[in-house]
Amino acid sequence: MFDLTGQVALVTGSSRGIGYAVASALGSRGATVLLNGRNPDTVEVAASRLREQGIKARAVVFDIEDVDGMLRAVDESVRESGGIDILFANAAIQHRESLATYPLPEFERIMFANLTAQWALGRHLAVQMMARGNGRIIFTGSITAIRGRRDITAYTAAKSAIHGLVRQWTAELAPHGVTVNAIAPGYIRTELTQALSNNREFCDWLTSHTPRGEWGTPEDIASAAVFLAAQESRFVTGQVITVDGGLSSTMM
């Protein structure tokens, strides 16, 4: 089960953390993985690490804030690979500031990168997937679109819209054999959450409110991504799967 041999997967924001773990997991199931990031050296190092493990991996460099450049890079990859079967749209940016002082330009920038650019990339590949009659689109959502958190007003708005996009796109793409889902991670221990994981007060709060009693790992997200990317999940679409150790499901 979950054999991805012959499939090509584009994983954005995959030079480290959740994206890298997902690329590794998809590749270990036989997919050719296209790793993405803004820094050519960093992405190539990540791709080389996967190739050393016997995974077919290539670097695709683009910045999600440059939509035109992103789509050109994707089209070039499509020409080289013959098509992209799986999209794991993971790249994102963040700005933390209280609502009262949150600058409008920052709100627009975060919304553009985390919503508009995701829409543009997903739509671009969805058209090609519809023409082939098969495809998998997986967005990275967020637990903050389910449970509010202070100081991230733009990020929460964008991720909430992504959750809605999953449902709306399903209505249009499911008849063409393309599934659309999102994974909403809870608190996952990565380089980007290092400051929080080093905060004893926050860690105590998190473990006491999470039934599992611990932080998640990037591999926890990768397991869900493999399921959603595989043919075995062909009847699963329009869903936001929360991977958070039970944090959003209880009143602990």
Q: Residues with Cβ < 8 Å from 197, sequence gap 6 or more?
A: 189, 203, 215
Of the candidates 12, 37, 35, the residue with the CA atom closest to the CA atom of residue 24: 35
Question: By the 8 A CB rule, do 240 and 162 touch?
Answer: no
Q: Residues with Cβ < 8 Å from 25, sequence gap 6 or more?
A: 219, 222, 223, 225, 226
Q: What is the pLDDT of residue 26?
A: 98
What are the pLDDT digits (tens) for 9-19?
999 999 999 99
Mean pLDDT of the chain: 96
Domain ranges in the chain are: 8-243
Tell me the residue length of the chain. Answer: 252
Which pTM does this prediction carry?
Answer: 0.96
Q: Spell out the long-range contacts of 171-175 with Cβ–Cβ below 8 A and sequence spacing 24 or more.
A: 171/238, 173/126, 173/129, 173/130, 173/135, 173/137, 173/237, 174/237, 174/238
Catalytic residue of the set 20, 102, 155, 187: 155
**Given pLDDT bands bounded at 50, 70 and 90, which one contains residue 232?**
very high
- Under CATH, which architecture does the 8-243 domain have? 3-Layer(aba) Sandwich (3.40)
Tell me what the mean pLDDT of segment 221-232 comes to.
98
What are the pLDDT digits (tens) for 69-117?
999 999 999 999 999 999 999 999 999 999 999 999 999 999 999 999 9
Percent of the chain scored above 90 by pLDDT? 94
Reply yes or no on whether the pLDDT at 251 is more than 80. Answer: no
Q: Residues with Cβ < 8 Å from 166, sequence gap 6 or more?
A: 139, 141, 180, 181, 182, 238, 239, 240
Range 10-23 burial, b when 16+ CB lie within 10 A, else e: bbbbbbbbbbbbbb
Question: By the 8 A CB rule, do 15 and 43 touch?
Answer: yes
Q: What is the pLDDT of residue 250?
A: 86
* 20 labelled catalytic: no
What distance in Å separates the CA atoms of residue 46 and residue 15, rounded to the nearest whole number? 5
What distance in Å separates the CA atoms of residue 118 and residue 111, rounded to the nearest whole number? 10
Reply yes or no on whether the pLDDT at 252 is more than 80. Answer: no
